[in-house]
Structure 1
């Protein structure tokens, strides 16, 4: 059995300040230690349950947050950015039996949700798929479905619980913290979180082995609607073949595969950030 573990940072326990989210920021090393400790713990639990291969996909920011030489023996690490399929790489290279999401957060615009954003708060004001506002959780679940991989456990911000219950009700949900605002949350004691996580992983693996989980297949054709924070970003996004400009800041795409969602998101994200960098340099 091979399990993919996709790890984001904003939904991790103890993370509530932008000072923790990126290299060179004052509290970033503290965040790395928390993320690595949880990665190591989950890897050990999965190994103890008889999982043959555990693949950790570092999926936050530059995707080089997990401290490689502190992982337990036998744990594979995927790091670096950009990369194909982003947060769920290398789902296209190997056959996985299930996926676990750790440290996930809610969608852009969600009230009282810690660090609410979808892919980039700087670039995207809204991301909708087939008319429904989505978080990174849904995007990655749809991509995994393209490769017949079920999501078996999701953990992170408590506000994600309802989303998980709607799309993947068979998946175990573990709350790492309760959001008070965009920049504040109540984190449970780490020892309690690890105990809950261990029990949750045991239950999710049992459900997987018993055939009590499902693969999510997105309805096609897929309508992806992106609303940008600036009209200049939409100018660039409308250059993608097949794009339809809806308003000054909104562009729609009609897609045939779930992996095309990632392609459009990454392409428009990088183009927008590149333009933003140029504009900043000229000021």
Structure 2
């Protein structure tokens, strides 16, 4: 049986700080990568123990742009897939999908680092809030491929029990808030993932693809009204609230494309708002003044490399 392991990062066992998920913090990020690698290897062990004949791994965190792991880090050096086009090609290859290191959807108060794609967006399909778990499962559902395993924190496996009740689940940590989380010991977390993967293979015949009825009433909710304003430039978008835009999507793929473009459209507005907040900090103002003063002094002290010809200008006049 061909199984795809689709990974995220925030839900990995051992990760208890947001900085562990971003390469802007190199040492901390490498530690986070090691935790994710151990989760993936535990899943590979369990899948193979349960009879999986081929395993591939799709790096989903930032669509693989962060390169959290390489094939040599993983048991059996499986093929690693990164980027949306390559992942879409796997829809016809996979016979089952395991979601490893996933997190809960935006608005989940007891979900560690809960969000939906960005920190500023949430998604509703036919009025029901959904997150990245459903987005992934429903996409593979279009090809008749079921999700058989979900690993993550308590809120994530609770979400899986609601949307994917047939899938095996492995809880590796429990959060009280989006930042306050209690971790399982590393060995126990790996054991749960491996056992969950083996159990998923044993019950795979009882798993079914997630199929959402089409068309889909799609709503994208934002943190602030000005972010929704930015998304209203999309054709066929309609305002469905102070902080939300909507679209009647003929298909699931259309719904997900609308969501993707909507959040990309709001990013400049969000970044401007964040810059304004940062610029208002006294220490930032001091640093900006120092930078401006240094730049001005360097400009005044450095001989100009340019050569003007005033005589030519006078002739032209």
Query: Shared topology, TM-score over 0.5?
Result: yes
Report the Cα offset of residue 61 of structure 1: 2.6
Contact 1:127 1:224 in 2 (8 A): yes
- The structure 2 residue matched to 1:102, chosen from 100, 103, 109, is 100
- The structure 2 residue matched to 1:273, chosen from 267, 274, 279, is 267
- The structure 2 residue matched to 1:72, chosen from 50, 70, 75, is 75
Contact 2:51 2:201 in 1 (8 A): no
Report the Cα offset of residue 48 of structure 1: 4.2
Contact 2:71 2:78 in 1 (8 A): no
Aligned length: 274
Which of 1 and 2 has greater Rg?
2
Q: Which has the larger displacement, 173-182 or 68-77? A: 68-77
Report the Cα offset of residue 84 of structure 1: 4.0
Contact 1:153 1:173 in 2 (8 A): yes
SS in 2 for 1:54: strand
Contact 1:103 1:176 in 2 (8 A): no
Cα RMSD between the aligned structures? 2.2
Q: Find out whether 1:143 has 2:143 as its counterpart.
A: no
SS in 1 for 2:75: coil
Report the Cα offset of residue 30 of structure 1: 0.2
Match of 1:229 in 2: 223
SS in 1 for 2:206: coil
SS in 2 for 1:117: coil
Contact 1:36 1:67 in 2 (8 A): no
More helix by share: 2
Alignment of 1:1-283 (within 5 A): 1-25=1-25, 26-61=27-62, 63=64, 64-80=67-83, 83-84=84-85, 89-92=88-91, 94-121=92-119, 123-124=120-121, 126-208=122-204, 211-277=205-271
Counterpart-to-counterpart distance in 1, 2:172 and 2:243: 34
Counterpart-to-counterpart distance in 1, 2:151 and 2:99: 6
Unaligned runs of 5+ in 1: none
Contact 2:125 2:218 in 1 (8 A): yes
Q: Which has the larger displacement, 65-74 or 31-40? A: 65-74
How high is the TM-score relative to the length of structure 2?
A: 0.79
Unaligned runs of 5+ in 2: 280-317
Counterpart-to-counterpart distance in 2, 1:192 and 1:159: 18
How high is the TM-score relative to the length of structure 1?
A: 0.88
SS in 1 for 2:61: coil
SS in 2 for 1:91: helix
